[in-house]
């Protein structure tokens, strides 16, 4: 379970970026220069969308340093504020994980078993949830405390996050690069470079904000 969760969870806390329209604009309607990053993130926090739900399709490619072939996953993500995310992989295997404020529940077709772990007993997973809270609350300027942030490109808007020493993510992640669609309404891509040399690239398609979601969107297969 832990290995599968590692593949799924690393990019989860970044998904929230896709819920903030016009991320690349300041109050003056322009993309900030590098030395304006702090003001940019502060302004972004003031303009957080009032979304309550999100749904999106994704394609995730994992390039592993030890192997030539890429692992390509396709599926769907459903999010409901303040603390519920479901990540469903549909191909080439079927896998589902549900994250709430108290537990992580997962199912895979290989075992056809549902497993559940408590977040209170797993500080690493709790940290992932804490990151989600930061994104949802709009406290983006706090990210400067644990990351070096750089606006790498303005068209399309591309932002780089490099974890600092006091960021727990630094033990795994070298750099995270976020690219937005041309209209800057939500994410087009997340690229995560790990210290191991592995690279994960996630493309988001057909993202909808405040779309009606039913209970089945947050179900994993099988029964606990």
Distance CA 180, CA 154 (A): 10
60: exposed, middle or buried (Cβ count in 10 Å: 0-12, 13-18, 19+): buried
User: Residue 183 in contact with residue 207, Cβ under 8 Å?
Assistant: no
| H or E stretch at 165 | none
Confidence check: pLDDT of 118 > 50: yes
- The DSSP code for 29 is S
**3-class DSSP assignment, residue 116:** strand
Q: What angle do helix axes 2-9 and 123-137 make, rounded to 10 degrees?
A: 20
The whole-number pLDDT of residue 142 equals 72
Answer with the residue of higher pLDDT: 217 or 37.
Answer: 217
Average pLDDT of the segment spanning 191-213: 89
Average pLDDT of the segment spanning 110-135: 72
pLDDT averaged over every residue in the chain: 75
Q: Whole-model pTM? A: 0.74
CB within 8 Å of 139: residues ≥ 6 apart = 45
The whole-number pLDDT of residue 66 equals 81
2.40.110.10, 1.10.3720.10, 2.50.20.10, 3.40.50.620: which CATH number matches 2-218? 2.50.20.10
Q: What is the pLDDT of residues 129-181, one digit of tens each?
A: 666 555 545 466 777 778 888 888 888 878 888 988 888 778 888 998 888 77
Provide the pLDDT confidence category of residue 22 given band limits of 50, 70 and 90: very low
Q: What is the pLDDT of residues 46-97, one digit of tens each?
A: 655 567 788 889 999 988 888 888 889 999 989 888 778 888 999 998 989 8
Q: For residue 34, give both structure tokens.
A: 């590098």
């Amino acid at each position: 379970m832990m290995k599968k969760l590692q593949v799924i969870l690393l990019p989860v806390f970044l998904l929230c970026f896709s819920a903030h329209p016009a991320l690349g604009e300041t109050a003056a309607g322009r993309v900030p220069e590098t030395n304006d990053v702090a003001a940019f993130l502060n302004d972004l926090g003031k303009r957080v969308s009032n979304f309550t739900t999100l749904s999106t399709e994704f394609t995730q490619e994992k390039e592993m340093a030890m192997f030539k072939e890429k692992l390509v996953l396709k599926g769907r993500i459903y999010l409901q504020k303040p603390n519920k995310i479901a990540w469903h992989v549909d191909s080439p295997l079927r896998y589902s994980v549900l994250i709430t404020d108290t537990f992580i529940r997962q199912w895979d077709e290989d075992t056809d078993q549902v497993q559940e772990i408590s977040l209170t007993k797993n500080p690493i997973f709790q940290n992932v949830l804490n990151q989600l809270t930061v994104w949802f609350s709009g406290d983006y300027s706090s990210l400067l405390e644990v990351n070096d942030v750089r606006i790498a490109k303005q068209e399309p808007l591309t932002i780089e996050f490099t974890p600092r020493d006091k960021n727990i993510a630094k033990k795994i992640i070298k750099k995270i690069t976020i690219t937005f669609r041309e209209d800057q309404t939500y994410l087009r891509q997340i690229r995560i470079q790990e210290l191991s040399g592995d690279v994960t690239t996630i493309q988001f398609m057909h993202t909808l904000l405040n779309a009606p979601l039913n209970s089945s969107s947050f179900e994993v297969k099988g029964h606990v």
